[in-house]
Structure 1
Amino acid sequence: MPPSFEPLIVLSQGIELHVRQRHPSGTPAVLFLHGWLDNSHTFDWVLEHLPDTWRIVLIDFRGMGRSAHVPFGGNYTFADYLLDVESTLDTLGLSEAHLVGHSLGGNVATAYAAARPARIKSVTLIESLGPTGGSPDGALDRLRGFLDDAQRPPRRKSYPSVEEAAARLRENNSSLTEAASLHLARYGTEPAEGGYVFRFDPLHRRRFGHGFDEAQWLAILSAITSPVQLLSGSNGLTADDARVRARLAAMRPAKTLTLSGGHHVHMEQPEAVARALEHFIR
């Protein structure tokens, strides 16, 4: 029987992160990073097919899943998620680890691997090639949007059932299967007056005041020294255009693999993704 997961609390700049760990004495150590507004249970089906001897660590980013929200008056920035990764590695005594990130989690894995090359042994990106900063002429609109969003009170919409919440997830991501959306909703909602609400902090829906431009992100990609594997869904978000080709050239992935599926391809093809992870990490 596979070893069970132990729930832990990790403090990241005073914010309590919900962390799960399996086989703390195992090797290699692999840290999984989920996507925007998702939670660590997005990887559950992949983990069923990975070796029991591996040390598996999963975190819910601040303000998502079961992790705490920022205090009143706080905000979220991309760099905060790198602090969540570093705090988790430090607290668990991990001097080095392999990173696996989906979507936003992949962007975080990319940036952290570039900033802390000695700590990262490999990076696997699932449907993730970096943020879209937009053109320079959109910078002013981004700032205005950030200020406008800050004037709107956060709102958590209630759904009559977990199934209705799952249906909402599929509205936002048409490639998400019914089974996957229900799994994410089960672990991503909590009971509230009128039904169920998503656990993530609604402040995450506010626009950032700034972002990386393309030259900055290419510099980050070029700084990665650990081996990189890129897994994509055939119906996912990764397009074949000049921007993508430039990013691939900067990152120089050791392996690329396209599997049948959408943006959450790891939930559609968990065994195939697990095989790719095991082969690459070994």
Structure 2
Amino acid sequence: MKLPTRRLTQNVLTVAGRDAGEPVLFVHGNVSSAAFWRDAMAALPEGYRPLAVDLRGFGETDPEPVDATRGLRDYSDDVLELIAELGLDGVHLVGWSMGGGVVLQALRDRPAAVRSVTLVNPVSPYGYGGTEGPDGRLTHLDGTGSGAGAANPDFVARLKAGDMSDESPTSPRNVFRSAYVKNGPIPDEDFYLRSMLTTRVGETHYPGDAATSAAWPHVAPGKHGVLNALTPTHFRLDDLHEIAPKPPILWIRGADDVIVSDTSLFDLAHLGVLGVVPGSPGTPAQPMVTQTRAVLERYGPYREVVLDDCGHSPHLEHPAAFHRLLGDHLREA
């Protein structure tokens, strides 16, 4: 359904006949859409109302520009306005990858609206790239090492062109096969690929405006678009442990994730250590998982579940285990 709000018109997926019960709002990750939650929505236990939103610039929601200087708040404010517009109370939030950061920001800003949180391979609370150590200290004060300049230009071009081929390692299809999941093929691969291709490409969307730096690896955060919204100078959740109330958090992650990892293959610092990006002065990889764990340890009521033989998308790779874990968490909240 299309829902006009004060900020923009948002596209929300629902399940026929499931318009009552405790609301469960699913938030997708980067280069995807609400369609990635199709099966998880249908598998929710009785008594729950499944909803999944397309974030701005993805799926069929309005492609309003992303002000990266607000971190992920353009997205989280949209989600909070959607909750208010629908009159939802005590929402269970489920966020995958970048969507994990979106729901944590929404929790940080309006904890009383949230009944529980489920994080699925979430971005670090200290953003993506440009930090070191469990406390997320900046490698450079300007966030060098993160931002839109880190995006692979061939992938961006193929995404913009709607490329559904597998002719290049950087085609969206092969990125899905090599990074979104560990083991393929995933049923309905074309369905998920078409969801990826709904991503708006440009300086105010994906990846954003590129900025340069004199320091290695010579990219710094810009002011617009998705990847800049994820930089540590714009998105940082240092005070999550101070909110009240504190709804319970379930953190589900794949053991073999190459996107969100302490040794991520998308982190320029780690690629430098590996020699893939030349000229590294020895900058250590961002310990993304360690950082998330440190923030949640301070927060309090959370549980971490690691699924073996699983990459970035547990809801696609191990659906039975994912549905069971989510259902149990909702019932216990």
Opposite residue 326 of structure 2, the aligned amino acid is: L
Alignment of 1:23-34 (within 5 A): 23=17, 25-34=19-28
Amino acid at match of 1:184: Y
1:186 aligns with 2:194: yes
1:264 aligns to 2:257 (yes or no): no
Q: Is 2:102 the partner of 1:108?
A: yes
Aligned residues: 259
**Residue 222 of structure 1 contacts residue 250 of structure 1 at CA under 8 Å; is this kept in 2?**
no
Q: How does 1:16-95 map to 2 (within 5 A)?
A: 16-22=9-15, 23=17, 25-70=19-64, 74-77=65-68, 78-95=72-89
Q: Which has the higher helix share?
A: 1
2:199 is aligned with 1:200: yes
Q: CA deviation at 1:31?
A: 0.5
Report the CA distance shift for 1:244/1:165 in structure 2 as closer, same or farther (over 3 A): closer
How many angstroms does 1:121 deviate by? 0.5
Task: Indicate whether 1:134 and 2:130 are aligned.
Answer: yes
Q: 1:160 to 1:119 in 2, by over 3 A?
A: closer
Task: Provide the residue aligned with 1:230 in structure 2.
Answer: 251
- What is the CA distance between 1:253 and its match in structure 2? 4.1
Q: Structure 1's 257 and 68: CA in aligned 2 closer, same or farther, altered over 3 A?
A: same
Specify the SS of the correspondent of 1:226: coil
Normalised to the residue count of structure 2, the TM-score between the two structures is 0.67
The farther-off stretch of 59-68 and 236-245 is 236-245
Match of 2:217 in 1: none
Runs of 4+ aligned residues of structure 1 deviating over 4 Å after TM superposition are 141-147, 160-165, 171-174, 213-216
Is the contact made by 2:182 and 2:311 (CA closer than 8 Å) also made in structure 1? yes
The letter for the 1-side match of 2:193 is: A
State the Cα deviation string for residues 212-231 of structure 1 (Å, max 9, x = none). 45995231355361111111
Deviation string for 1:250-277 (max 9, x for gaps)?
Answer: 2334322111311111111112111111
Match of 2:2 in 1: 8
Q: Does structure 2 retain, via aligned residues, the 8 Å contact 1:10–1:19?
A: no
Pick aligned residue for 1:97 from 79, 91, 98: 91
Tell me which moved more, 247-256 or 227-236: 247-256
The alpha carbon displacement at 1:49 in A equals 2.3
Q: For the aligned residues, what is the CA RMSD? A: 3.3
Distance 1:113 1:178, change over 3 A: same
For the structure 1 residues 37 and 214, does the alpha-carbon distance in structure 2 shift closer, same or farther, using more than 3 Å as the test?
Answer: closer
Report if the CA contact (8 A) 1:228-1:255 is conserved: yes
* Structure 2 residue 240 is the aligned partner of structure 1 residue 217: no
Question: CA contact under 8 A between 1:17 and 1:60: conserved in structure 2?
Answer: yes
* CA offset digits 1:153-211 (Å, max 9, x no partner): x96224265997523433554636332643311334xxxxxxxxx22111321254464
2:306 counterpart letter in structure 1: T
1:66/1:176 CA distance change after superposition, 3 Å? farther
Alignment of 1:114-193 (within 5 A): 114-128=108-122, 129-130=124-125, 131-132=127-128, 134-135=130-131, 136-140=138-142, 142=144, 156-159=160-163, 165-171=172-178, 173=180, 175=182, 177-179=184-186, 181-188=189-196
